[in-house]
Amino acid sequence: MSMLAQLWDMRNIMTPIKEFMGHTRGIIAMSWCPNDSSYLLTCGKDSRTICWDTIFGEIAYELPVGTNWNFDVHWYSKIPGVISASSFDGKIGIYNIKVHTFLF
């Protein structure tokens, strides 16, 4: 079974703007890119951490799957593409995700 994250415009609550299918278990945390709102990070109980292209509704990048869930993700606003992910084994990973469309 696939879990679904939805993007809504609260001015039109009839249908979501976009749907993101990729996680197989619940989503724990998400974070919007502070420099480009077309990118969204999610991490879930399936141990996946995904960077979504919200324009196309597709996966732009995915971190390698770890042994423990990430429970929090953040963008580093001063360097485009740098994120941190905190996992339940007490580790904080710093990643430079290679999304070729970062234009800032």
- What is the reported pLDDT for 1? 60
Is 104 among the domain residues? no
- What is the reported pLDDT for 61? 92
- What is the reported pLDDT for 2? 65
- Between CA 2 and CA 87 the distance in angstroms is 22
Asked if the model's pLDDT at residue 16 lies above 90, the reply is: no
Domain count within the chain: 1
Q: What's the Cα-to-Cα distance from 80 to each of 42, 70, 85, 96, rounded to whole Å?
A: 17, 21, 15, 8
pLDDT, one tens digit per residue, over 36-81 is 889 999 999 999 999 999 998 899 999 988 778 899 999 998 988 8
- What is the reported pLDDT for 31? 95
- What is the reported pLDDT for 94? 92
Residue 55: which domain range? 4-96
Q: What is the mean pLDDT of residues 79-95?
A: 90
Is 78 among the domain residues? yes
